[in-house]
């Protein structure tokens, strides 16, 4: 709990002022989501945050008198619940000089991310732990921009004995007051907040990094000093790189703070960056330096907010693209300048060893820009969930893709924009933006105007299509024709095609036998065009957008002839080529495809082939066939089922809620048409089930099962299942078994199943297994199964199971161990007493 007094000094008071009470947005639980979803945020049940106003007064001329104030609902900007008392308005004596005094209390909630709130005894709050003064009262509250205005904040923080604070600021002093400590904090310029990080002494420690530039102070959790020190050494390099291109770091001090959340969530505020403990506990897991470069990138992203999002403010509702997308642009640009832009550049372990070789084999191909930013955008567009990077939350149609829209597409739009105007010009514009808007706020429209002024280009079309609009594009090469002209000259014609709702100038590269290359620019005017030119060499390949500068939803057709990547041993996932895996060491298969849009595989040993084609968010076609002791197979169409549940947030959210399958089985005895409908939900409720019907030569098979979850207490749930099936005249294999059982077996033409699982609170405490594996969580549940086949006796079993979630290779490779004890509960003459069982699942 914070007991605070906020003083706001006015030289000439306006008639009325307003404050945001952001903590009250967490005062009430989200009534729309399931208890399990809520528990993912609150480890031991909902825990409210709030700010309560204890009193408001006006101090002037040595006298102080109480003022009335009004509390009103927060506007429908981000969410539709817990809006009460989100805004406070106070009438002031207009034109008078004086100080507005607000006395308040703010409560820290216990939550898994630990911000805003507390986790593992550490209290963190960046923005909104106190009332935030609005620069002006809006004419329409529902159109309130979500700015965090910058002010010349100063702070006096008193802590009781045994507590310590890690506080940003250009000047931070502390003094003893009784047995406690009083901190005094100030900045030399306006800031958006003074962030709090408060813990018991001994639970956090610090060191300072010597060197030129701003004073760097790092705070770490027990056992992580060496890792935090290693990462902190990159800060001067990153700050210098940013400073040379975008202007100097704005403060005299910088804090690097290890945060206790294990969600992998990192964040920043004025003069401070917080990095999740998740990274530090996995930095050298299985392989030395497994996450070293990934952590540098995350650090660079959070540091970039000192320039954009915090240094230059944005509307965090409508214009968050200029915060997160720009931080991506700055950090990836630094990363590629240091480590190169091409090939595997993210998971590069230090040294040699078994773990290091495994990391190279599984994840060595990963490219930061291609696989962690461009690929998610391509997947989102392929699924039909792409939309504009700039729009208010209440107009967003696909909130489930917010990260991809703001971070990934946001970065790609800025990279395309930088290439369109020229990188040097773009950097100049960013420097000009800093001069004009540091400590203030910039809108997308103002950013466009600034870029037009610096570049001299008309950018209205670009912004209309790619910033404010939801344009998509697919560029492809249709053919390449080369005609000798004599005297070492060649006439080259290539067919180019553009599909979509927006286009950009695209580089076209002609590649010869050696180092011969020629790059020209194609500015699409029509959907299909032919580019003709003379070259001093015969090109063997033409490539569209070789640098991946434009947004393209499908890169498999960017080259002619088409590219193929042969993969032998080490993993790979090309964005601009079809892949061919030769004799996969795990399965022995030969396989191929493009991303996850279509794939095929041949298993020579089993004489089996399989293939799949996906059609965006509509569905997928699947087929499998085996020619061993006869011919068997299956072909099916799966229709994805979506719904848009009310989630408590403005705008729309899509959840895949099930699938409808239509297919045909080919068995030795003939063809079996079937249909299945599956349902599964996890946001507003937790349930899953299936209803299937098979037909064979006048006979049929029906099976239905449903599981519903009931929350009994925080992180304690009861799953109740019921299943019923009947089959008449079905071929072997289409009758019913006891697949849910460990102790019972059997087949029958009818089945009744009853089951229950009581999920108990998980054991969450990371434990290293010799540095090779990390045990991160153990789920535990009691179970009871009862079933009957045909008219036979009922069988039953009960027991307890543990699911140990382990990680390897920097936390990128999961290993799951399931084990427990089970006992037959109904007569089974062959089984008596307790039976131990276990299974292991390796890999994603």
Boundary residue ending a domain (91, 116, 144): 144
Which pair of structure tokens corresponds to residue 79?
């969410």
- The residue ranking higher by pLDDT, 212 or 127, is 127
Residue 844 predicted with pLDDT over 80 = no
Q: Confidence band (pLDDT; 50, 70, 90) for 351?
A: confident
Q: How far is CA 346 from CA 229, 333, 773, in A?
A: 20, 14, 21
Same domain, 673 and 545: no
The alpha carbons of the chain give a radius of gyration, in whole angstroms, of 31
Give the end-to-end CA distance of the chain in Å, rounded to a whole number: 42
Pairing assessment for the beta strands 180-186 and 687-696 based on DSSP bridges: unpaired
Model confidence at 830: pLDDT above 70: no
Residue 238 · residue 303 · CB < 8 Å: yes
Residue 376 in any domain: the answer is: no
69 is a domain residue: yes
The confidence score (pLDDT) of residue 231 equals 98
CB atoms within 10 A of CB 207: 14
Looking at the structure, tell me whether residues 732 and 821 fall in a common domain: yes
- E-only strand ranges, 37-189: 50-60, 63-66, 69-72, 87-91, 98-107, 117-119, 122-125, 132-133, 154-159, 163-165, 171-177, 180-186
User: Please, which residues bridge with residue 580 across strands?
Assistant: 566, 592
Quickly count helices (H) and strands (E) in the chain.
14, 47
pLDDT level of residue 764 (50, 70, 90 thresholds): confident
What tokens were used for 670?
A: 């003939």
Domain end call among 487, 518, 550: 550
Q: Given 3-state DSSP classes, what are the helix, strand and coil percentages for the chain, each rounded to the nearest 5?
A: 20, 40, 40
Task: Please answer whether residues 279 and 260 qualify as being in contact, where contact means their C-beta atoms are separated by less than 8 angstroms.
Answer: no
Residue 831's pLDDT is 63
What percentage of the chain exceeds 70 in pLDDT?
99
Q: Does residue 832 surpass a pLDDT of 70?
A: no
Range of the domain at 139: 1-144
What is the tens place of the pLDDT at every residue in 62-75?
Answer: 899 999 999 999 99
Taking residues 652-673, what's their average pLDDT? 96
Judgement on whether residues 748 and 812 belong to the same structural domain of the protein: yes
How far lies 34's CA from each of 28, 45, 623, 647, 648, in Å? 15, 12, 36, 10, 12
Whether 704 and 663 map to the same domain: the answer is no
Q: Among all chains, which residue has been given the structure tokens 């505020």?
A: 269
d(CA 689, CA 348): 43
User: Confidence band (pLDDT; 50, 70, 90) for 692?
Assistant: very high
Are 644 and 758 part of one and the same domain? no
Residue 300 resides in a domain: no
How far apart CA 326 and CA 324 sit, in angstroms, is: 5
Mean predicted lDDT score pLDDT of the chain = 96
Specify the pLDDT at position 829: 59
pLDDT tens-digit map of 379-408: 999 999 999 999 999 999 999 999 999 999
Q: DSSP string covering 739-752, please? A: TT-SS---EESEEE
Q: In what order do the strands lie in the sheet with 215-220?
A: 205-209, 215-220, 253-259, 272-276, 267-269
Mean pLDDT of 214-235: 97
Which uninterrupted H or E stretch holds 293? Answer: helix 292-304
Establish if 70 belongs to a structural domain: yes
Say yes or no to pLDDT of 765 above 80.
yes
Q: Is residue 585's pLDDT more than 80?
A: no
Torsion sign over Cα 590, 592, 596, 598: negative
Query: Can you tell me the distance from the alpha carbon of 383 to that of 614, in angstroms, rounded to the nearest whole number?
Result: 10
CA distance 493 to 508: 12
Residue 323 lies in a domain: no
Strand partners, 528: 497
Residues 137 and 5 in one domain: yes
Within 691-759, residue ranges assigned H as helices are none
Residue 584 has pLDDT above 80, yes or no: no
Q: What is the pTM of this model?
A: 0.96
Residue 559 has pLDDT above 80, yes or no: yes
Q: Are residues 715 and 757 in the same domain?
A: yes
Residue 234: CB atoms within 10 A of its CB come to 18
> What CATH number is given to the structural domain containing 478?
2.60.40
Q: What's the rounded Cα separation, in Å, for the pair 495 and 252?
A: 57
Are 625 and 631 spatial neighbours (Cβ–Cβ below 8 Å)? yes
pLDDT at 588: 83
Q: What is the pLDDT of residue 733?
A: 86
* pLDDT over 70 at 828, yes or no: no
pLDDT in tens, 272-312: 999 999 999 999 999 999 999 999 999 999 999 999 999 99
Q: Measure the CA–CA gap between 375 and 205, rounded to whole angstroms.
A: 39
Is the pLDDT assigned to residue 164 strictly greater than 70? yes
Q: Among residues 109, 124, 144, which one ends one of the domains? A: 144
Is the per-residue pLDDT at 144 higher than 90?
Answer: yes
Q: Please give the Cα distance from 571 to 629 (Å, whole number).
A: 34
To which residue do tokens 């540095």 refer? 771
State the total domains in the chain. Answer: 4
Q: Is the pLDDT of residue 768 over 80?
A: yes
Checking if the pLDDT of 113 tops 70, the result is yes
Mean local confidence (pLDDT), 229-235: 98
Confidence label for 210 from pLDDT (cuts 50, 70 and 90): confident
Residues 727 and 838 occupy one common structural domain: yes
> Are residue 739 and residue 640 in the same domain, yes or no?
no
Same structural domain for residues 675 and 635? yes
Same-domain pairing of 139 and 15: yes
In degrees, rounded to 5, the angle at the alpha carbon of residue 166 between the alpha carbons of residues 165 and 172 is: 95
Residues 135 and 37 reside in one and the same domain: yes
């Amino acid at each position: 709990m914070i007991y605070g007094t906020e003083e706001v000094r006015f030289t000439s008071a306006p008639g009325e002022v307003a404050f945001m009470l952001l903590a009250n947005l967490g005062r009430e639980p989200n009534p729309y989501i399931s208890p399990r979803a809520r528990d993912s945020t609150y480890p031991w049940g909902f825990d409210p945050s709030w700010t309560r106003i204890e009193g408001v007064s006006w101090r002037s001329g040595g006298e102080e008198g109480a003022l009335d104030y009004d509390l009103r609902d927060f506007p429908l900007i981000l969410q539709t619940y817990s809006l009460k008392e989100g805004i406070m308005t106070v009438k002031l004596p207009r034109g008078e000089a004086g100080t507005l005094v607000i006395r308040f209390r703010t409560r820290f909630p216990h939550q898994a991310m630990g911000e805003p709130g507390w986790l593992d005894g550490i209290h963190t709050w960046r923005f909104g732990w106190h009332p935030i003064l609005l620069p002006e009262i809006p004419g329409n509250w529902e159109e309130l921009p979500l700015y965090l205005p910058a002010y010349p904040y100063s702070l006096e923080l008193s802590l009781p004995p045994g507590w310590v604070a890690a506080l940003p600021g250009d000047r931070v002093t502390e003094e003893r007051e009784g047995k406690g400590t009083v901190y005094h904090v100030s900045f030399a310029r306006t800031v958006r907040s003074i962030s709090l990080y408060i813990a018991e002494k001994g639970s956090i420690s610090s060191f300072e990094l010597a060197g030129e530039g701003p004073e760097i102070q790092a705070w770490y959790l027990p056992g992580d000093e060496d890792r935090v020190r290693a990462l902190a050494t990159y800060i001067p390099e990153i700050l210098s790189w940013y400073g040379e291109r975008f202007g100097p770091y704005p403060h005299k001090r910088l804090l690097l703070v290890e945060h206790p959340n294990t969600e992998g969530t990192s964040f920043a505020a004025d003069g401070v960056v917080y990095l999740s403990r998740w990274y530090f506990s996995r930095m050298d897991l299985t392989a030395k330096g497994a996450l070293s470069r990934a952590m540098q990138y995350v650090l660079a992203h959070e540091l970039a907010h000192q320039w954009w999002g915090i240094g230059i403010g944005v509307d965090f509702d409508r214009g968050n693209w200029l915060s997160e997308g720009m931080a991506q642009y700055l950090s990836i640009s630094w990363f590629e300048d240091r480590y190169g832009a091409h090939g595997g550049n993210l998971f590069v372990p230090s040294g040699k060893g078994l773990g290091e070789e495994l990391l190279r084999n599984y994840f060595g191909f990963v490219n930061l820009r291609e696989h962690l930013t461009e690929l998610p955008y391509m997947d989102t567009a392929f699924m039909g969930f792409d939309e504009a990077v700039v729009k208010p939350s209440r107009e967003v149609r696909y909130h489930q893709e917010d990260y991809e829209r703001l971070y990934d597409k946001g970065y790609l739009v800025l990279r395309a924009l930088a290439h369109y105007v020229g990188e040097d010009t773009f950097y100049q514009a960013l420097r000009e933006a800093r001069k004009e808007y540091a400590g203030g706020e910039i809108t997308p429209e103002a950013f466009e105007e600034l870029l037009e002024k610096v570049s001299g280009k008309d950018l209205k079309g670009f912004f209309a299509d790619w910033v404010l609009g939801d344009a998509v594009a697919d560029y492809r090469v249709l053919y390449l024709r080369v005609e000798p002209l004599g005297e070492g000259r060649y006439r080259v014609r290539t067919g180019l095609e553009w599909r979509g709702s927006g286009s950009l100038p695209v580089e076209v590269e002609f590649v010869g036998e050696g180092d011969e290359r020629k790059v020209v620019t194609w500015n699409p005017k029509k959907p299909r065009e032919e580019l003709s030119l003379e070259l001093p060499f015969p090109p063997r390949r033409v490539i569209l957008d070789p640098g991946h500068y434009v947004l393209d939803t499908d890169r498999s057709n960017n080259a002619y002839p088409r590219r193929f990547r042969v993969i032998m041993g080490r993993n790979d996932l090309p964005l601009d080529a079809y892949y061919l895996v030769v004799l996969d060491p795990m399965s022995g298969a030969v396989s191929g495809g493009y991303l996850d849009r279509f794939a095929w595989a041949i298993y020579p040993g089993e004489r089996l082939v399989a293939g799949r084609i996906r059609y965006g968010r509509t569905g997928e076609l699947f087929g499998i066939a085996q020619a061993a002791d006869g011919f068997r197979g299956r072909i099916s169409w799966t229709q994805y089922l979506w719904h848009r549940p009310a989630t408590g947030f403005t705008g729309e959210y899509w959840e895949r809620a099930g699938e409808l399958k239509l297919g045909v089985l080919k068995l030795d005895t003939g063809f079996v048409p079937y249909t299945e409908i599956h349902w599964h939900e996890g946001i507003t409720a937790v349930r899953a089930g299936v209803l299937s019907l098979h037909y064979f030569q006048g006979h049929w098979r029906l099976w239905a099962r449903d599981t519903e979850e009931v929350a009994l207490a925080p992180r304690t749930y009861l799953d109740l299942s019921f299943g019923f099936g009947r089959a008449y005249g079905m071929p072997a294999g289409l009758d019913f078994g006891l697949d849910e059982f460990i102790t019972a077996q059997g087949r029958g033409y009818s089945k009744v199943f009853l089951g229950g699982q009581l999920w108990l609170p998980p054991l969450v405490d990371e434990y290293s297994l010799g540095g090779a594996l990390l045990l991160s969580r153990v789920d535990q549940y009691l179970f009871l199964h009862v079933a009957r086949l045909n008219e036979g006796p009922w069988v039953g079993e009960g027991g307890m199971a543990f699911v140990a979630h382990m990680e390897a290779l920097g936390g990128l490779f999961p290993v799951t161990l399931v084990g427990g004890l089970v006992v037959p509960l109904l007569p089974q003459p062959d089984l008596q007493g307790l039976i131990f069982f276990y299974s292991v699942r390796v890999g994603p």
